[in-house]
Structure 1
Amino acid sequence: MRRYELETEREGSAVYFFIRDIETLDIVLLPTKYLMHKIRSKCSPNTIRRSALSILYYLEYIHEKEQELIDIYQMPYVEQTEHFVKFLYWLKAGKHTQDENHRSPNNGTCNAYLKDVFRFYLFIEEEYQQFGELKALSYNYFMAVDAVGVKKSIRSRSFKGYLKEEEHKARAAKKDEIVEILKACTNIRDRLLMLLLAETGYRIGEILGIDYSKDIDYRNHIIRVYFREDNENGARAKNAEYRSAKISKDTFDFLNLYIAEYRKLLQHQTSLFVNISGDNIGKPMNVEAVYSMLKRMEKKTGIKITPHMLRHYFGNERRKAGWSLELIQLAYGHRHIQTTINYLDIVDDELLDASQEFYEKHSSLYGIEELL
C-alpha cells in the first residue's frame, strides 16, 4: 500500500506539483517547498516532474524503513552510504512502482533519481542549517582558471556509490527512413514537423514552442527558438536559451503551404503546430500528440523514428558535410562538447583514418630521419 501520491495543479500555463500523504491527506511540506523553489528557478515542468517523482519514490523507501528525512543526517558515514546504495537497488528492483509490467529502470535512471534526492537534501541543508550535512556526499576539489587567468579551487560534492551506468547511444534516423515516414504521413502538418526536426536539430519542445508570428524570419528562411514559460502546450526551450537555424528552400516552401492550408485554424492563435482534428482542433499541439503520430507511422511502415533520433540525424549529417564540432554544439544548444560528441557516430576507424591522413601530410614532424 502506497503512502504518498503526486498531485498537480495548473494555473494558466504554470503547473504546480505537490506530494500528498494518502493516510493523513496532508501535503508534505518540505518536498512541496523544494518543488516551488524549482518553479521559481525557472526549471522546466519536465525537470520538476522528474524531481517530484524522485522524491516521491524516496519518501516511499524511507517509509518502508520506518525512517524520517531528518533521521538520515544522524547516521554515521558508512551507514548513510549504505542507506543510499540500498535505495538504488530498491529502485533497480522496481519496488518504486506498483505496475507489474513496468520494466526495471536502467542504472543511469536509478542514479538520476538519487541525484534528484541529493539536490533535495542540499536544499534542506541550505534552508535548515541546524540539520548539518550529508556525510555520504564527499567533497571533490579541482582547480579552475577564470577569464583573466586567476586560479581558484572549486569544491563540489559527490556520491561514491552510484551504480555503474550502461553505455547508451541512441541511433540516428536514416535518410531513407525519413523519406518513408514522410510518404506515409497523411497530412501536411506531420510532414512539416518531420522536416523541421530533421533540418534544425531542435528538441521537440522547442519545435512545438515556435510562434509563427514572431519566431520565423520569412525573408531569410530562419526559424528561431526563444524561451517562454506561457506556451499553452507547455513547450519551452531547454536551459532558457536562444538559437536560430536556417531551413532549406524546399522546406520553407512546404512551411508556407502548411500555413496557407490551415490558415483558418492558425489565425486564432500563434503556435505553428496545432491539432487539426478532434476535440482540441486548433489548439497548440503537445508532445504526447507527436509521439502518438510517430507511433501510428511505425505501425504503418515498420520504421521507428523519434524526435531524438531526428536530432541525432541532424548532427551526423552536418558532420559529414564538414561542420566543426563547435558549430554542431552551438546548433544543438549543448553546454558541453562531450554531449555533442556522444550524439555523433564517430567510430575508431575514423580516428585511425584521420591519424593516417595527418601523418601522410606531416611525415617529418620532429626531424627523426636525422637521428637514424
Structure 2
Amino acid sequence: MRNYRVGMAKDASTKYYFIRNTDTMKIEVLPTKYLTHMTRANRSPNTIRRSAFAICYYLGYMEEKQMALEDVYALDYEKQYEHFTEYLNWLRSGNHKENKVKLPDNGTCNAYLKDVFRFYLFMEMQEAPDTQLSVLAYNQITIANAAGVKRTLRSKSFKGYLREEERKVRAAEKCEIVTILEACTNCRDQVLILLTSELGFRIGEILGIDYTRDIDYESHEVKVDFRDDNENDARAKNAEERRGKISMDTFDFLLYYLSEYWDVIQKQNYLFVNIQGETKGRPMKVDSVYDMFERMEKKTGIRITPHMLRRYYANTRWDADWPLEMISQALGHKHLDTTVRYLNVMDDKLKAASQEFYNRYSSLYGVQKLLEGK
C-alpha cells in the first residue's frame, strides 16, 4: 500500500474507516468522505472495510504511476481501459502487499476494481457532475417483446475483468455433519451447526439471531431480517425477512443450550455468545466460527464450512422435491442461477423444473413465435 494505510475509529457502536497518507500523516479527504458516505448509507462494515483497502491499494498504484486520481479522466477510452487492466494485473501479481506469499485470486482482484469504480462514481457526483470515465459509459439497446412493451438493455463497456474460476464448493454430507457434531466440546457449537444445516441461513445471519425476538418458541420458527446495529457486524446480506422451521430435536437442543448458558446469554440479546475467556458473554463473531471449524478439521480430518452447510440444506430440500424457486427464496438468493450452482447435479428433475419454468414464462417475450419463425 506504499504510503497509505487504512484506519478505523469508533463513535459509540459505529465504525468509521479512513485512509491516511503515512508520509504526510494527513487524512486522504475524498476517499475518507466516500467511506463515511458508505457508513451513513448503512453498508455492512465488512463491505466498507474491503472498499477502504481497495481504494488504499489503488492509491498506491497511482503513486507508482505518478498520477493523481483526476488524471485518469484526461485519458481516452483505450488508455483508460489499459490503465485499469494494468491495475488488475498489478493486484494479481501481489504488488499491493508487502508479503507476496499468498496472492489474491481473480475474483478478489475484480472485486477491488469494482470498489474503485464505485469510488470514481462518487467522485463524479461530488466533484465533477459533468465528468464520466469512458470505461464506465453504458452500451444500450432497446427491444420490444411480443406485447409491444419496450425494454432497454444496458451493459457497461469495460470488459477487462480477469476470468474468475467457478467456486468449487461441495455440499457437506450428513455423515460428516454427524461426525463434527460428535467432536464438538460444547452444545453452543452443536446448536450453531444444527441451525445452519436446518435453516440454510448465512453464517452472518445465524450470528445475528436475537433470541428475544427472532425465535418463535411456539411454532419452532426462526426469522432473519436486516439490522444495522449488530455488535458483531453480522448482518443479513439482503434486506428481506425470511423464516425457517427447525426440527423438534434441534429445538429441544436449542432450549438446552439456552438453559446451560443462561447466566451468560441473559445479559444481552444475541443467541450465540462467547462462552469463555476475556470476551465471555460478548456476541460471537464470524472469525470465531471459522476457528471452531478449523479445530474440528484438525480433530476429525473432515473439512466443513458454513457455506458447505448451506449447500447441504439446498441439496436435501431438492432431494425432498422442493420447487427450485422455494429453495432459492429460503436461501435468500436474488437469482435462480445462483441456487442452481448450489445443487450437486444437473439431473432430470432440474431439467424438468427448467422446462416448466420456461413453458410458463416464455410467452411474455414472444419466444414461441420466434422459434416458429412467425
Could you tell me the TM-score, scaled by structure 1's length? 0.90
Q: Report which stretch shifted further, 78-87 or 9-18.
A: 9-18
Matched, 1:255 2:230: no
CA drift of 1:128 comes to 2.0
Count of residue pairs the alignment pairs up? 354
Q: Corresponding residue for 1:97?
A: 97
> Compared with structure 1, are the counterparts of its residues 341 and 131 closer, same or farther at alpha carbon in structure 2 (3 Å cutoff)?
same
Q: Give the whole-Å Cα distance in 2 for the aligned partners of 1:144 and 1:246.
A: 43
**Does the 8 A contact of 2:46 with 2:233 survive in 1?**
no
Counterpart check, 1:56 vs 2:52: no
Mean CA deviation greater in 78-87 or 131-140: 131-140
Instruction: Give the conservation status (yes or no) of the 8 Å contact 2:135–2:156.
Output: no
The answer to whether the 8 A contact 1:13-1:229 is kept is no
Q: CA deviation at 1:138?
A: 3.8
Deviates further, 129-138 or 171-180: 129-138
Q: CA deviation at 1:53?
A: 1.2
1:69 and 2:83 correspond: no
Structure 1 residues 295, 26: closer, same or farther in 2, change over 3 A? same
Counterpart of 1:362? none
- Structure 1 residues 25 and 304, CA gap change in structure 2 (3 angstroms): same
Partners of 1:265 and 1:135 in 2: how far apart? 56
Query: d(CA) in 2 for partners of 1:145 and 1:229?
Result: 41
Q: Specify every segment of 5 or more residues in structure 1 that has no aligned partner in the other structure, as ranges.
A: 356-372
Q: Is the 8 A contact 2:138 2:154 kept in 1?
A: yes
Q: Deviation of residue 172 (structure 1)? A: 1.1
Structure-1 separation of matches of 2:275 and 2:304: 22
Q: How does 1:311-326 map to 2 (within 5 A)?
A: 311-326=310-325
Aligned to 1:86: 86
What secondary structure, in the 3-state scheme, does the structure 1 residue paired with 2:160 have?
A: coil
Identity across the alignment (%)? 56
How much has 1:154 moved relative to structure 2? 5.0
Give the equivalent residue in structure 2 for 1:337: 336
Counterpart for residue 2 of structure 1: 2
1:13 equivalent to 2:13? Answer yes
Cα deviation 1:256-287 (Å, max 9, x = unaligned): 01011111111111110111110111111111
Equivalents in 2 of 1:111, 1:29: separation in Å? 25
Deviations 1:28-48 (A, max 9, x none): 111111111211222111111
Flag the 1:238–1:143 CA change in 2: closer, same or farther, 3 A. Answer: farther
Shift of 1:351: 6.1
Q: For 1:105-116, what aligned pairs fall within 5 Å after superposition?
A: 105-116=104-115
Residues in 1 aligned to 2:278 and 2:54: alpha-carbon distance in whole angstroms: 34
The verdict on how the C-alpha distance between 1:33 and 1:213 changes in structure 2, with shifts beyond 3 A counting, is: same
Q: Indicate conservation of the 8 Å contact 1:192/1:258, yes or no.
A: yes
Change (3 A) 1:149 1:267: farther
Greater mean deviation of Cα atoms: 167-176 or 297-306: 167-176
Equivalent-residue separation in structure 1 for 2:188 and 2:313 (angstroms)? 20
CA deviations over 1:193-233 (Å, ceiling 9, x no partner): 00001000101111111111111000000001122121221
Deviation at 1:142, TM superposition (A): 4.8
**C-alpha distance in 2, partners of 1:322/1:48?**
39
Structure 1 partner of 2:171: 172
The SS at the match of 2:162 is coil
* Root mean square deviation of aligned Cα: 2.3
What is the deviation of 1:160?
1.6
The structural deviation recorded for 1:161 is 1.1
Give yes or no for contact 2:324–2:353 (8 Å, CA) kept in 1: no
Partner amino acid for 2:150? K
Q: Deviations over 1:96-155 (max 9, x none)?
A: 111232x22221221111111111111111222256111122413255889x98534254
Q: Which residue of 1 aligns with 2:269?
A: 270
Q: CA–CA distance in 1 between the matches of 2:352 and 2:140? A: 38
Does the CA-based 8 Å contact 1:294-1:305 persist in structure 2? yes
Residue 23 of structure 2: aligned partner: 23
8 Å contact kept, 2:209–2:271? yes
- Cα distance in 2 for partners of 1:150, 1:124 equals 36
SS of residue in 1 equivalent to 2:117: helix
Maintained 8 Å contact 1:205/1:236: yes
Q: Residue 6 of structure 2: SS of its match in structure 1? A: strand
Deviation at 1:327, TM superposition (A): 0.4
Distance 1:92 1:349, change over 3 A: farther
